[in-house]
Amino acid sequence: MTWNQLNEEFYSGKAGIYIGAPNGMIQELMKQLVAAHPEAEVVPVPPFTDPNGRRGFLATEGFIGITALSGNLSGDSEKIETILEMIDFGRRYYSLEELTPDNPDFDWYMGYVGQGYDYVHGKVVAKENSFSQGLAPVTYFVDSFEWVPEGKNPQYHKRYIFPQTAELSERLEQMWTDSDKYISPLSGTYSPTQEEKGAALHQWLRDEQIKIILGLKPLEEWDDLVAQYMRRGGSQMIKEFNQEIRQKGRQDYWE
């Protein structure tokens, strides 16, 4: 499915679980859900507790990919500086006080008030078709996710005007604040089996999981699915990763 199709599945009430974050939610979609199902309540699913009684979020190793500049730019320092300036502009953090039409940089970035967004009761509301129709420059930036400086609290929930969206955002923020964060001991480790079979095995596992979630296969087949995963290379990957963890002295990460 495309991202728009996924949005439609969830916000029409057809799907019950969805990936979300405190920021970046489209308020118009939440309005559609509430209009179709006034009794609906969207709540965050907290981290599950592991066998040792711990619960929390796993830190990621970074974003999916890097930004690379063409080698043809070699020697053209002015153009390189301009490109880097554009990338930094897309990552710029705006405090609540700066999210206004009076801020010329922000106003331009969002496509100008009345065109790319509306300013309602002191809050920014993106036009429903702003991103799909490219009405705002933010659509075209390589990196359009603001990088929040350390020690800053963006209070994303205060940026929303629709109450259900604001409440969900605040719950997500609180869940993140109250939860522990862990770094995977697998970071920087290597498994030859993972390198050879990992991608295909993971895709197979996801396909089979989806079949169970959609009811195409019974839940009773889950244990057999796990056993197949282990036989196809899962057990060997676990063995190789554990060996790497011991060699790097990371046994205490989860103990």
Global pTM reads: 0.75
Position 125 in a domain: yes
CA distance 221 to 208: 10
Domain of residue 225 covers 192-253
Task: State which of 142, 161, 180 marks the end of a domain.
Answer: 161
Q: Does some domain include residue 98?
A: yes
In a domain, 31, yes or no: no
* Residue at 61 is within a domain: no
pLDDT for 255 beyond 60: no
CB-based burial label for 124 (10 Å; 0-12, 13-18, 19+)? buried
Look at residue 156 and tell me whether its pLDDT is greater than 70.
yes
DSSP 3-state of 123: strand
- CA-nearest of 125, 34, 25, 21 to 7 is 25
Do 120 and 200 reside in the same domain of the chain? no
Query: Residue 139: inside a domain, yes or no?
Result: yes
Tell me the C-alpha distance between 23 and 25, whole Å: 6
Q: How confident is the model at residue 252 (pLDDT cuts 50, 70, 90)?
A: low
Q: Where are the beta strands (DSSP E) in 28-121?
A: 56-58, 117-120
Domain boundary among 121, 141, 161: 161
Q: Residue 118: how many CB atoms within 10 A of its CB? A: 15
* Residues 89 and 153 grouped into a single domain: yes
Domain count, the chain: 2
Q: Which pLDDT score, from 0 to 100, does residue 253 have? A: 57
Does some domain include residue 102?
yes
Residues 77 and 134 in one domain: yes
Q: Could you tell me if residue 180 is inside a domain? A: no
My answer on whether 157 and 198 are in the same domain is no
Q: Provide the token pair at 197.
A: 């079979």
Altogether, the residues listed in the chain come to a count of 255
10, pLDDT greater than 80: yes
Q: Note the pLDDT of residue 64.
A: 64
Please state, in angstroms and rounded to a whole number, the distance separating the CA atoms of residues 47 and 179: 8
Could you give the C-alpha distances from 32 to 7, 129, 165, 172, in angstroms and in order?
Answer: 11, 14, 12, 21
Q: Is the per-residue pLDDT at 95 higher than 70?
A: yes
In this structure, are 154 and 208 located in the same domain? no
> Do the domain assignments include residue 23?
no
127 and 198 in a single domain? The answer is no
- Residue ending a domain, choose from 161, 182, 206: 161
